[in-house]
Structure 1
C-alpha cells in the first residue's frame, strides 16, 4: 500500500519535543563537530523565533516528516537574505523519510508563499556536504551564490538563491 501524501501546513502546530527530535535527527549526525553545541542551538525555544514554521506530516498517521522555517525580508533572524529576499532556514527531513518527497513539498510551499507575498527572491544556506539537498535546490531553480557563502560556528555554508520574479 502506498503511503498517504504528506500534508503541508504553514504556521503548523508542532510540539517542542517533536520539533527538537526532528531537528537533532536531521542535523546532528555522527560526524558533527559539536553535537552538544548543536543541541543547544537547535532547541525549539531558540529556533521558533526565526520565522514561520512549515511542517509536512504523513497524511494517514500524522507523523512529522519534515519542517522548514520561512523568514520574512527584513527580519532580524535572517542569515544571508537581502532586503527584498525571503529566507528558508532549517529545512529538516526525518532521516528515514529522505528522498520520498517531503523536502520538495516543503520547499515548494515556501516558494509559493514567497511568491504570494511578493518577495523578489528566496535564499538559503546549506552545508557543503549536503549533496542531495543541493540537487533538490537546483531542480527547483535555485542557483549558487558563491560570493555570499559564509562561515558559522566554524563551519562553511553555501548560499543558494531563487529569483521569484515578483
Structure 2
C-alpha cells in the first residue's frame, strides 16, 4: 500500500466533496437521510472548510481515496473543541478504498499535527460508526461521554465524543 497523505489542493475539492458526501449518505449518517439534508451540502463544500481549516487527502497513484478536516486549536470550524484543543471533522473514505488503512492514516496525520503543537485532539462521531471507533481507540483516543452532544436542537440525534490527550 503506497498511500500518500497530503494537504488538499483546489483541484481535489470537488472530488473529495463527492467522496465525503456520498460516504455519509451511503452509510446512513445524515440526520435527515438524503441529498436534501443541509449537512450533505456542507460535506460537499470542501473549498469552504479549506478556507478555515486544514483539509487532508489520502491519495494513491493520483487517485483520491478519502479525506479529513483538521481544525487547529481555536479554529472557526471547531464544533466541540475548547480553545486549547484541536478537532477532527468529516473523516471519509471512498467505499472501494475501505479496509486498507486509509482512515487510520488520515487520523494519524491529524494526531501527528496535534502532537507537533502539544495540543489535545477531540472528535465527535455517531454511535453507528463502529469501524471509526475502532480506529480512534487503536490510536489512543478514549470516550468522553460527558461531552457527548446533540447538534440538532429538539432532535434525539447524539454525537459521541472521543479525546486524545497528548
1:124–1:159: 8 Å Cα contact kept in structure 2?
yes
Structure-to-structure mapping, 1:138-149, within 5 angstroms: 138-149=137-148
Does residue 151 (structure 1) correspond to residue 153 (structure 2)? The answer is no
Structure-to-structure mapping, 1:1-166, within 5 angstroms: 4-9=1-6, 11-13=7-9, 14-29=11-26, 31=28, 32=30, 33-35=32-34, 36-37=36-37, 38-44=39-45, 45-58=47-60, 61-119=61-119, 121-153=120-152, 154=155, 155-164=157-166
2:18–2:44: 8 Å Cα contact kept in structure 1?
no
Alignment partners' CA distance in 2, 1:54 and 1:135:
21
Change (3 A) 1:25 1:43: closer
Instruction: For residue 49 of structure 1, report the CA deviation from its aligned partner.
Output: 3.6
1:50–1:69: 8 Å Cα contact kept in structure 2?
no
TM-score, structure 2 length as denominator? 0.87
Alignment partners' CA distance in 1, 2:66 and 2:5:
9
Instruction: For residue 82 of structure 1, report the CA deviation from its aligned partner.
Output: 1.3
Count of residues in Structure 1 that have an aligned counterpart in Structure 2: 157
Richer in strand (by share): 1
SS at the partner of 2:158?
strand
Does 155-164 or 17-26 show the bigger shift? 17-26
Could you list the runs of 5+ residues in structure 2 that have no partner in the other structure? none
SS at the partner of 1:75?
coil
Alignment partners' CA distance in 1, 2:129 and 2:59:
23
Alignment partners' CA distance in 2, 1:6 and 1:127:
26
TM-score, structure 1 length as denominator? 0.87
